[in-house]
Amino acid sequence: MIRILLRIVLKNLPWVLLLTVVVWVLITGKLPFYQGHSGENTEVKHDVVLQKLVSLGKLELIKYQFKEITEVKNTSQWKIFFHSYSPDMKAALITSGEAVGCMDLTKIMAQDVVLSTDSLIISLPPPELCYYKIDLENSRIYDLETGYLATDEEERAFVEEVYKSAEIQIKNAALDSGILLQTQSNAKQFLTAFLEEISGRKVRLNFKLSAEGRQAL
């Protein structure tokens, strides 16, 4: 009896399997064990790469530290017979400060990421000076002349002007020292290794032009 039942089951097994597949397709709309074509997998990886980049936000890549001497002179406006009625205001400031180069990865859009079977090409935003600032605790004015007719308010305004000039000097020193060039170089090294790890593909990075229409490299 058992042999007869087994023979019947084996004889009708293909039809049972076919009926199971038909029912599965009607219920789910998909073939069983179907994983989708390679394009779907690529799209998922594309999204993952984009999300991981954007999640890094403003990526700080280099920090320059400076020690500068800033001298500011404010010529007196009070003149009598071509002579100053009040001495000019002068100041010399020893400044410690820093400037940081970064890349704002939140500016990357979906169209900036191109993923193929064996490579990943990304157009990155240009490097930028993330911030620059004076270390007030380690900066000091060592020479200050404000004139005997200057009011307290004028003296305070002049000192603020001195510090602002020192801050701009730090910015210019950072740019002149090639901080954007170094930022881009560091970005290429870090992001290439990072993206090859998460994508499993060869990575090529391009850099967009800055607002001035220039590239750091």
Average model confidence (pLDDT) across the chain:
76
What pLDDT is recorded for position 16? 54
Q: Are residues 84 and 188 in the same domain?
A: yes
Model pTM?
0.67
Nearest by Cα to 166 from 114, 107, 91, 110? 91
Lowest mean pLDDT among 42-51, 111-120, 130-139, 197-206: 42-51
Range of the domain at 24: 1-34
Pair 16, 72 in one domain:
no
What pLDDT is stored for residue 39 in this prediction? 44
Interval 26-30 mean pLDDT: 51
Residues 51 and 86 both lie in one domain: yes
Q: Are residues 95 and 201 in the same domain?
A: yes
Pick from 48, 183, 202, 45: which is nearest to 124 by CA? 183
- 176 and 162, same structural domain? yes
What gap in Å lies between CA 212 and CA 209, rounded to an integer?
8
The rounded Cα 129 to chain-centroid distance in angstroms is: 10
pLDDT of 86 reads: 53
Is 65 a member of any domain?
A: yes
Q: Are residues 43 and 26 in the same domain?
A: no
C-alpha pair distances (Å), 101 with each of 9, 24, 174: 73, 57, 9
pLDDT for 138: 85
* Residue 178 one-letter amino acid: G
Q: Is 134 exposed, middle or buried (0-12, 13-18, 19+ CB in 10 A)?
A: buried
Domain contains 193: yes
Domain count, the chain: 2
Regarding whether 62 and 22 lie in a shared domain, the answer is no
Same domain, 185 and 84: yes
Same structural domain, 77 and 180: yes
Same domain, residue pair 62 and 24: no
The predicted model gives 132-144 an average pLDDT of 83
Residues 16-26 have a mean pLDDT of: 52
Residue 212 within any structural domain of the chain: no
Distance CA 19, CA 34 (A): 17
- pLDDT, position 139: 80
Residue 217 lies in a domain: no
Residue 44 domain-assigned?
yes
